[in-house]
């Protein structure tokens, strides 16, 4: 490869994290959320590792993501969480994906697709109740209508009932989270009173650790799968699966007053050495971390100086006087006794760990590693 910049993905960590999550709620089914290219980690590679780790199924946002999994030979259940199908209802059936529904029009379209394909068994659908996100999902009145619509259709069955919590990781919002859970629980009781026994799921990564009442019988684990606690707290039981690595491409000796990068946002206060690293916002490294973020070189935290550009960033090498061209630079992950977490990068850039990892662009080479399969380059 022409440049050293890469994302190293530890697939063994994926398995370890899934085992820990299962231990939190051993009586629950566990679905790994692999939307957005498995949070930047590589959709197919992560799904295969999770399947080896005996996950029960997967969650994706888009039908297209589910198709990629099916084309890769993944046979476990795949739930399409966003419920946006366009004219693709028939392909959802043909690809054996599990649709989430919250609109009557989609229920009608899936019923028609079942008839058109001559499917011999009812299609299982998951209904989504909006309990306070005000984003996707239906209210209680529409939810009841959808359940009744499924009951009257020989081609459909109620396979799941779900909601999404707004702030499950935030103790300050526990009262609201419990309101959501209670609203959801009331509708679950109503569904069960009508003789249905669907999967019930509300717990995302933040909630499944902190709020046992949210767990019901299926967990939707996202950020935790990748070794990141949504709360931002250190969790020794989790193993971060991603490490961003590059190298020092050039070293400059600056005199006082010399500037670095576009628009001269950094000017050297003294004589100093800076190193250029071939990673920038075109790779998904957030530009808002300019003059705030840090990288690891020689086991030392080196401040980013100057404006992060599309392809490059520059760091202050004052703390590592022996650093030179070719030395490893770590943008995310551990080096020596220091570590930069996704939450660190998020704080420096004014955003979340979710955005940090999912923002990694396709031009950054992923290198997937596992003890059983060795090293595999992937996209």
Active-site pick, 31, 102, 262, 285: 262
Task: Give the torsion through C-alpha atoms of 291, 297, 298, 300, to 10 deg.
Answer: 30
Residue 226: active-site member: no
Q: Give me 56's structure tokens.
A: 């029960």
| Strand (E) or helix (H) holding 250 | strand 250-254
The phi, psi pair for 178, rounded to 5°, reads -70, -35
Residues 6+ apart with CB under 8 A from 51: 74, 76
Q: What angle do CA 307, 243, 58 make, to 5 degrees?
A: 115
Following DSSP, what letter does each residue of 219-246 receive, concatenated? EEE-GGGGT--TT----TT----EEEEE
What's the half-sphere exposure (Cβ side, CA atoms, 13 Å) at 293? 31
Q: Are strands 242-247 and 57-60 parallel, antiparallel or unpaired?
A: unpaired
Active-site pick, 31, 35, 85, 294: 35
Residue 262: active-site member: yes
Residues labelled catalytic: 35, 262
């Amino acid at each position: 490869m022409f440049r050293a910049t890469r994302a190293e993905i530890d697939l063994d960590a994926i398995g370890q994290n899934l085992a820990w999550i299962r231990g939190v709620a051993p009586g629950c089914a566990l679905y790994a959320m692999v939307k957005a290219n498995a949070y930047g980690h590589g959709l197919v590679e992560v799904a295969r590792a999770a399947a080896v780790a005996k996950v029960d199924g997967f969650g994706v946002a888009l039908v297209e993501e589910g198709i990629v999994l099916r084309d890769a030979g993944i046979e476990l259940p795949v739930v399409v969480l966003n419920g946006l199908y366009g004219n693709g209802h028939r392909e959802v059936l043909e690809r054996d994906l599990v649709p989430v529904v919250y609109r009557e029009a989609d229920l009608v379209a899936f019923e028609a697709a079942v008839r058109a394909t001559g499917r011999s068994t009812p299609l299982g659908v998951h209904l989504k109740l909006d309990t306070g996100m005000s984003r996707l999902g239906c209210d209680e009145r529409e939810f009841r209508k959808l359940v009744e619509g499924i009951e009257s259709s020989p081609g459909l069955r109620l396979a799941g009932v779900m909601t999404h919590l707004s702030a499950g990781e935030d103790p300050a919002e526990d009262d609201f989270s419990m309101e959501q859970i209670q609203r959801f629980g009331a509708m679950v009781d109503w569904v069960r009173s009508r003789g249905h026994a669907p999967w019930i799921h509300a717990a995302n990564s933040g909630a499944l650790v902190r709020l046992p009442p949210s767990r019901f019988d299926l967990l939707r684990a996202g950020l935790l799968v990748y070794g990141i606690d949504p709360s931002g707290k250190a969790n020794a039981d989790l193993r971060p699966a991603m490490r961003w690595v590059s190298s020092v491409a050039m070293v400059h000796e600056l005199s006082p007053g010399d500037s670095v990068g576009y628009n001269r946002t950094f000017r050297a206060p003294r004589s100093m050495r800076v190193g250029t690293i071939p990673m920038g916002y075109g790779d998904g490294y957030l530009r808002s971390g300019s003059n705030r973020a840090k990288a690891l070189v020689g086991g030392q935290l080196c401040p980013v100086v100057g404006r992060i550009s599309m392809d490059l960033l520059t760091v202050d090498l004052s703390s590592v006087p022996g650093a030179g061209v070719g030395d490893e630079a770590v943008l995310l992950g551990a080096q020596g006794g220091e570590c930069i977490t996704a939450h660190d990068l998020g704080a420096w850039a004014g955003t979340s760990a979710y955005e940090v990892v999912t923002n990694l662009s396709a031009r950054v080479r992923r290198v997937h590693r596992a003890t059983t399969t060795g090293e595999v380059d992937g996209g």
